Amino acid sequence: MKKYNAILIGNGTMGKRHRARFESCGVEFVAIYDSKECTVKSPLESLDADFVVIASPASTHYNYVKDFLNRGIPVFVEKPLATTAAEAQELVDLALSKEVPLFVAQSECFNPIFLNFRKQMVAELKMAKRDADGKINLKLEFRREHGYSERCRDVNVALDLMVHDLSMFLTMFKYENVQLENFVNSGDDESWAFLRVVSGEYAGVEACIKVNRNSNKDVRMISASFDDAEYIVSLAKYRGNGEVEHVSDSLDNEHRFFLRLLHGACKDWGRRAAQNAANAVKIAAG
């Protein structure tokens, strides 16, 4: 495997995690930039590498991603891709026009627990009963809650957390078949989205997505209710004391996938994943 050189923008919690995993794959970080640490003395414009990891605050993603794509440098960026629908789509279109890989780190889409759940749901949907109009009666609920944190306060909870669940939902159902029925914000820390699949093979499916980043609970779960069956899955592992244990496979899987993109594999899948990330922002940003 080729040895890659990379740049890291943002050396906080997620920046350190991404760096450690890429280094375990043989990647060497030739420059690390963090506004608090000031570890890079030369201007960003002079930096060059095989790819860049952007884990800076969400409000800075658009400018960084656009700059590196314009320079022809592949981008691995933390979610959300951008903070507005227009900017998110602009970046996806730019990556396509420049033919430069763009990958958004939405790790839940690579969570083996979710991947197994999605596989089960696809099988169930194929056999699901339909009403007289041919619609499927399936109600999904996504819940994501955790306690207050000072991290990611530059964006609201929908762009911080809900994009995870939206991206998972959109790997199961096509964006063009989905309609946003209602969106409720309760301050910066709590939101609900109500979605319906209105056309296509799975018309009739409904989903409620609830997120809260100032909760006394720590929850990451999906429930699915058919007429005659119900499934509930936790996306997190829990220690004996009730604390959440990070599912390392999720990050490992997405890093390996990105490196495959750099090798030239899975190009169509990569383009769809980038568009999925932009579509999640379109819903979350309202």
Q: What is the pLDDT of residues 185-218, one digit of tens each?
A: 888 799 999 999 999 999 999 999 999 998 888 8
- 65 within 8 A of 44, measured Cβ to Cβ: no
Contact 237, 93 (CB under 8 A): no
Per the model's pLDDT, the better-predicted residue between 183 and 44 turns out to be 183
Query: Per-residue pLDDT averaged across 85-93, rounded?
Result: 99
Whether the Cβ atoms of residue 52 and residue 7 lie closer than 8 Å to each other: yes
pLDDT at 242: 47
Burial string for 23-37 (b: 16+ CB within 10 Å, else e) reads eeeebebebbbbeee
Residues 67 and 169 in one domain: no
Torsion over CA of 102, 106, 110 and 115, rounded to 10 degrees? -120
- Residues 93 and 120 grouped into a single domain: no
The verdict on 67 and 168 lying in the same domain is no
Q: How many domains does the chain have?
A: 2
Q: Confidence class of residue 39 from pLDDT cuts 50, 70 and 90? A: very low
| Domain containing residue 227: CATH number | 3.30.360.10
Q: Are residues 29 and 89 in the same domain?
A: yes
Say if residue 152's pLDDT is above 70. no
Residues 80 and 12 in one domain: yes
For residue 47, give Cα distances in angstroms to 20, 40, 63.
21, 10, 16
For residues 76-86, average pLDDT: 97
- Shared domain check, 235 and 260: no
Asked if 168 and 77 sit in the same domain, the reply is no
Do 52 and 77 fall within a single domain? yes
Least confident of 30-39, 76-85, 144-153: 30-39
Claim: this prediction has a pTM higher than 0.85: yes
pLDDT greater than 80 at residue 219: yes
Q: Same structural domain for residues 152 and 45?
A: no
Residue 286 pLDDT? 76
Residues 140 and 126 in one domain: yes
* Pair (235, 120) in one structural domain: yes
**The domain containing residue 173 runs over which residues?**
112-245
